Structure formats: C-alpha cells, structure tokens
Structure 1
Amino acid sequence: MFDIGWSEILIVAVVAILVVGPKELPGLLRTVGKTVGNLRRLAGDFQNQFNEALREAELEDVKTTIGDIKSLDPRVAVKDAVSKQLTDITSATDDVSKSIQQSTDEINSSLNENAEPEAVEPVLDTGHAEDTAIGTDENKKPVEGEEPSEDETQKAEK
C-alpha cells in the first residue's frame, strides 16, 4: 500500500529523535505502536465483518436456492405442462369442430335451396318376408338416369 523504504524510515527516526528527544522517544514509540495496533485491529474487524456479511448474503442465496430446489416437484411441472397441452388441443379440436359444423350447415343450406321436391313412391309390404332375401329388394324399381345393377340385369335375363 505505502511504498516506504529504509531511507525514509531513517529520516523519520532522526527527525523524531531531534524533535522529541532521546528521553521521551521510548514512550512515543510505545504510543505509536499501540495506535498502529489499534488501527490494524479495527481494519481487521471491519474486514471480518465485511466478509461475514458477504458469507451471510451468499448463505441466504444458497438457502433460497436450496429451498427452491426442495420445493420443486417434477410431478407438478409435468402436470402443468400436460394440462397446458391438453387445453391447447381441446381449443384446437373445438375450432375444428366449429369449422366442420359451419361447413356442414352451409352445405345443407345450399342443398336445401337447390333441392327439388321428389315424388316418393310408397313401399308396398307384401307380407312375405321369407320371399325376399336379406339385403335385396326384388320390388325395387330403377330410378331414371340410374343404370340397373348386375343383380337386376341377371334377374331380367332369366
């Protein structure tokens, strides 16, 4: 800190002997020594208190960090992440569902506007369920513009 060499110390000693005198020099040196000792002690105490305050601050940070780590529950973090993803998926499916419903409504309304009422032919119940095979209808008549199926053409040929 202070750059004092032996030559400066020798000059200070000679001046002290001349100013104070050789008789009172030992008492002066003792007082100066005690004062320097007190200053060193004060500086050491200040440095120790400063270091202790730093350690306490670091310990508080470490305690806080350890407390945060202890309170960290991976199950809760995973649960929150999954909940968020499910919410996002639910909102996306709701949007798609609304879009599909809107498209369906538009298609139905356009079909209803363009549709002409058709004559409905009554279905006659012959009362002979055993005569008709399941899945076939012998009484079915072809609709105009519709080609007869292979079964109908085979029956007509027989």
Structure 2
Amino acid sequence: MSAENRLLTVLEKIVKLQKSLHQIALKKTDILKADDIEALGQLMKDELKHIKAIEMVNGEREQIQRQLANELLLPPTNITISQLLKSSMLKDKESLRKLQVKLVKQTQSLKEINEFNQQLLQQSLNFVNLNLDLVLGQQESGNYTDNSSNEEEESTSRSLFDSKA
C-alpha cells in the first residue's frame, strides 16, 4: 500500500474517532444538564480513551505524512495536508481534500460543543460556590462577637444554621 493510500486510511480513522468523540461530547452536555456526577465520571473515562486513540493514530498520520513528503520531494519538516495538496505528484487530491474538509468541520463542531460544556461546568461551579458562601457566611456571622464569656458560650452552642435576628 502506498503512503498516499495509508494516509487516506489513517485520516478516515481519525474522522471516525472524531465523530465518536463528538457523540461523547453531546452525551456529556445531557449529563451536565442532568447533574449526574457518576455518569459524567464514566463518560470522561470513555472520552479519555478516545483522545488517547486519536493521539496514537495522529502520530501514525504524522509519520506517514513525512514519508509521503519525501516521496513527493517536499521538505518533511512540519508538513501539512494543505502542503501535500499543492504537490502536482499527488494522485488522489480530491479524496485528501474531502477528508481535510471533514476533519476541519468535525474539529470545529467538537470545539463548539466543548466550549458549551465548559460554560455549563463553570455555571455549576459558580452555583456550588454560591451555596457554599451562603452556608459559610451564616457560620461566620456567629463568630463576630465580643470576647465576653457569656457570648462565647452562646456562640459555641449554636448550630451551623442558627443565626441572630
């Protein structure tokens, strides 16, 4: 199999893995909306497996691209698909161009979903912090007293949810 055909095969694998990662990101959005922490943990394990698989296949892609660049008499350093497409010696430019477009669209879509999920996580974190501040704020209000012995005894016997009116 030629380097060009291997590159097309590897790019197709990356597209499939990206689509699968996209589905995971969509599930993550639903899980974040439902506040299901356990499901989120499991989903993040699956997401990590996909990311590692993409990294592994991407390393293979880089290696094949360098080999193809050598065959096409291009400088092998930091070779991109766009640079490969400029070569007149490339046989199947149309397939490579289509895969490039698919990857760009898939990556952009995944980026948008991940940004949305990041916003959901930040809102959840802000909500938790607000609730903690409200609870801790009540506790601290009982500690602002004079150092007289009567008030010290009274403040130590208060529960977390008692407060002065």
Question: Normalising to structure 1: TM-score of the pair?
Answer: 0.33
Q: Which has the larger radius of gyration?
A: 1
Bigger helix share: 2
